[in-house]
Amino acid sequence: MVVEMLINPLKAERHPFEMFFVGLFYASLACIISLWVFRENASLLMVFFTVFASAPFMYYTIKLEEKKDMLPENSETTLLKEHSKALRAFMALFLGITVAFALWYIFLPADLSRLLFEVQSATISEINNAVTGQASGFDIFLRILFNNIKVLAFCVLFAFVFGLGAIFILTWNASVIGAAMGNFIRGKLSDLAAVVGSSNTAHYFHAFSLSILRYAIHGIPEILAYFTGGLAGGIISIAVIRHDFQSEKFEKIILDSSDLLLISLGILCIAAFLEVFITPLFY
């Protein structure tokens, strides 16, 4: 498949920002195909098409990271540093996918936008209703943290069972975040247009900047935690297939994956704190 050849893991780790444009292309292509061929089920199929395009890169990158665990000269500190290169590439890919979905939400006609993001919009409404009426900020913090830990557990489990199954969950999250960003930007543009009479480039930039600020403060560390957990699960999955459970190398892989899981849990705690106590300060 041609899209598989756009970039390889080694190149992506050297130039992670290129993966942003790859993600932008994958998601845009998925939106076009979904609306063109499968219009009635476009909101789900665009996620699957994006996953199919991203899966080869994810698989070979996780396979590369597992090979790094096999090198005897790599200490725990060195391995974490090496894994951070893959995580930067994953994050750039995710951001590209998210921005693409947000742009399609904004610039498509309203009826097509509702059709393409129908399921995502319903999910956003459910999330908003779920956090309404909580007694205190700490209660909301615990609820969000436990929900995020549940998502992390699914990422690790899917990555372990399917090798790269976490990409399904993360791409779905990208589509929901993209729809939320697009809806927020459209709302801000409507408010600005009502005040000044029209929307120009400056208004688009202002609304887009506010949207990024609103969701990036807690969203970036949250998704980083999911990718870290997914990488850990994927490394273990490949190691189980390739190595003896009793080998010293396998023990090293388990130790490295445990470090990644602990890091992902720590990042999730920070992300939940930011979402509950910091993000609302800007809105």
pLDDT of residue 197: 55
H/E segment holding residue 118: helix 118-130
Among 78-82, 84-88, 166-170, the range scoring the smallest mean pLDDT is 78-82
Distance CA 221, CA 275 (A): 10
Distance CA 178, CA 47 (A): 12
Average pLDDT over residues 47-61: 90
Q: Inform me whether the pLDDT recorded for 280 exceeds 60.
A: yes
Mean pLDDT value across the chain: 82
pLDDT digits (tens, 9 = 90+) for 248-273: 777 778 888 888 999 999 999 999 99
Angstrom distances, CA of residue 17 to CA of 91, 103, 217:
9, 19, 19
**Highest mean pLDDT range out of 67-76, 178-187, 209-218?**
178-187
Distance CA 105, CA 39 (A): 15
Where does the pLDDT of residue 163 fall: very low under 50, low under 70, confident under 90, or very high at 90 and above?
A: low
pLDDT of residue 254: 83
pLDDT of residue 167: 86
Domains: count for the chain: 1
Q: How many CA atoms does the CB half-sphere of 268 hold within 13 Å?
A: 23
Domain with 135 in it: 2-282
Model confidence, pTM: 0.85
Using CB atoms within 10 Å of the CB of residue 205, give its burial: 0 to 12 exposed, 13 to 18 middle, 19+ buried: exposed
pLDDT of residue 132: 55
Distance CA 24, CA 246 (A): 43
Q: Inform me whether the pLDDT recorded for 131 exceeds 60.
A: no
pLDDT of residue 11: 80
Among 80-84, 105-109, 187-191, the range scoring the smallest mean pLDDT is 187-191
